[in-house]
Structure 1
Amino acid sequence: MAAQTRTASESEAKVASARNKLVLEQAKAAGLLGAAKNTRLSGRVPSELIEAAKKRAHVTSDTELLELALSRLALEDDFGARLVGRKGSIPTDIDLGV
Structure 2
Amino acid sequence: MGMIGGKRKTSKPEGTGAFRTTSESRVKAVMAAAELSGLLHEKSGRIGGRISPELIRKAKAQTGIATDTDLIEFALANVALEDNFAERFKAVRGTVDPDLKLGF
User: What TM-score does the superposition give when structure 2 sets the normalisation length?
Assistant: 0.70
- Please tell me whether residue 21 in structure 1 is matched to residue 28 in structure 2: yes
RMSD of Structure 2 on Structure 1 (CA): 2.9
Equivalent residues of 2:30, 2:78 under 8 A apart? yes
Gaps of 5+ in 1: none
Q: Count the aligned residue pairs.
A: 92
Q: How does 1:43-58 map to 2 (within 5 A)?
A: 43-58=49-64
CA distance in 1, matches of 2:90, 2:17: 36
2:38 is aligned with 1:31: yes
Deviation at 1:90, TM superposition (A): 4.4
Structure 1 stretches of 4+ with a deviation exceeding 4 A read none
Identical-residue share of aligned pairs (%): 34
- The one-letter code of the counterpart of 1:83 is F
2:90 counterpart letter in structure 1: V
Q: Which has a greater percent of strand?
A: 2
Q: Quick one: distance in 2 between partners of 1:72 and 1:16? A: 12
Q: More helix per residue: 1 or 2?
A: 1
Q: Unaligned 5+ residue runs, structure 2? A: 1-9
Once the two structures are TM-superposed, the CA of residue 9 in structure 1 deviates from its matched residue by 2.3
Q: Which letter does structure 1 place at the counterpart of 2:20?
A: A
Point out the structure with max Rg over C-alpha. 2
What SS class does the counterpart of residue 78 from structure 2 fall into? helix
Residue aligning to 1:12: 19
Post-superposition offset of 1:25: 0.9
**Match for 1:45: what amino acid?**
I
